[in-house]
Amino acid sequence: MSHPFDTLTPDLVLDAVESLGFLSDARVLALNSYENRVYQVGIEDSEPLIAKFYRPHRWTNAAILEEHRFTFELADCEVPVVAPLQHDGESLFEHQGFRFALFPRRGGRAPEPGNLDQLYRLGQLLGRLHAVGAARPFDHREALGVQNFGHDALATLLDGGFIPGSLLPAYESVARDLLKRVEQVYRETPHQNIRLHGDCHPGNMMCRDEVFHIVDLDDCRMGPAVQDLWMMLAGDRQECLGQLSELVEGYSEFHDFDPRELALIEPLRALRLLHYSAWLARRWDDPAFPRSFPWFGSERYWGDQVLALREQLAALNEEPLKLF
């Protein structure tokens, strides 16, 4: 069976960009992206542009435009973010059935794991992001929750037959125990949902000319503020305590942080584990996924997942991280 992205050829990419009045130099470089398709397109006598083609049927137009508006809102508040380009007042375009957006090219390097000075500056940036994000809710983008990231993810894996039969009982048992514990912690932990980046791993916080900027808000959604902080931490518990202190100190200069949300770090990590496996399963009809993730479906992968979920269940029963 063909996949919608099969018809997204280099010629179509060039035609889409040129349909907005740009003159390309015919150079197209595919960039590392799985959920969407992203290309660097050379432009005559100018800097290259980044063309992002959205995965069909994933987001509604309203949800994509809400992402764009959030990005423009951040830029208007001088939060360093890579915002889509506008043409005739529009930022979302369509060409031969594909929705796409154009962005300026903005390179950089990811932060160094555990670098305390960088974590303080990243905290400042996230505090500025959340100060804007807390001003109003999203109307068209889902919230991060136990149902969609946990129970729905598990249902995808169980119903799709992705887990080898020899490991299915063990995986299902530990996943259900994990979700019960996650639900309990969620119920017991006061938290407020705000607009988030949503997928704030270090690769989406790039440094250029000693300034960090935010990229790729494709997964922005409502959720607890700590979701955008915990993926900045690396190392053992003692290392994470020091890193967390620097991160929140910088964050608090621009937005208040409720330390009670720290109890949600391990539940959110658990949901990400489940959601990642379900994401691979849901995208398996895209030929790029079997090529890039050939180990998915192997007994070794699912054996490792059983172990990871058991370790995560143990982590949920430990004392949450606390600020110094």
15 included as an active-site residue: no
How far apart CA 89 and CA 76 sit, in angstroms, is 16
Q: Which amino acid is at 292?
A: S
How far apart CA 13 and CA 27 sit, in angstroms, is 10
Is residue 46 within 8 Å of 102, Cβ to Cβ? Answer: no
Q: Whole-model pTM?
A: 0.94
Q: What is the pLDDT of residues 274-284, one digit of tens each?
A: 999 999 999 99
11 included as an active-site residue: no
Residue 216 labelled as part of a binding site: yes
In which band, very low, low, confident or very high, does the pLDDT at 324 lie, cut at 50, 70 and 90? Answer: confident
Cα-flanking dihedrals φ and ψ of residue 128, to 5°? -65, -40
Q: What's the whole-number mean pLDDT along residues 38-44? A: 97
34 CB-contact burial (10 Å; exposed 0-12 / middle 13-18 / buried 19+): middle
How far apart CA 203 and CA 20 sit, in angstroms, is 29
pLDDT tops 90 at residue 2: no
Q: What's the whole-number mean pLDDT along residues 12-39? A: 95
Closest CA to 200 of 254, 147, 129, 109: 129
Q: What's the whole-number mean pLDDT along residues 209-219? A: 92
In which band, very low, low, confident or very high, does the pLDDT at 209 lie, cut at 50, 70 and 90? Answer: confident
Instruction: Output the pLDDT for position 3.
Output: 82
Q: How many residues does the chain have?
A: 324
With a CB cutoff of 8 Å and minimum separation 6, the contacts of 182 are 146, 150, 267, 270, 271, 316
In which band, very low, low, confident or very high, does the pLDDT at 1 lie, cut at 50, 70 and 90? Answer: low
Choosing from 45, 76, 117, 199, the catalytic residue is: 199
Structure tokens at 265: 């770090």
Is residue 51 within 8 Å of 41, Cβ to Cβ? Answer: yes
In which band, very low, low, confident or very high, does the pLDDT at 4 lie, cut at 50, 70 and 90? Answer: confident
In which band, very low, low, confident or very high, does the pLDDT at 87 lie, cut at 50, 70 and 90? Answer: very high
Residue 25 labelled as part of a binding site: no
How far apart CA 222 and CA 194 sit, in angstroms, is 5
Q: What is the pLDDT of residues 118-133, one digit of tens each?
A: 999 999 999 999 999 9
How far apart CA 182 and CA 315 sit, in angstroms, is 11
How far apart CA 45 and CA 23 sit, in angstroms, is 9
Cα-flanking dihedrals φ and ψ of residue 51, to 5°? -110, 120
Ordered DSSP codes for 199-241: ---GGGEEEETTEEEE---TT-EEEEGGGGTGGG--SSHHHHH
Choosing from 15, 76, 139, 216, the catalytic residue is: 216
Q: What is the pLDDT of residues 217-275, one digit of tens each?
A: 999 999 999 999 999 999 999 999 999 999 999 999 999 999 999 999 999 999 999 99
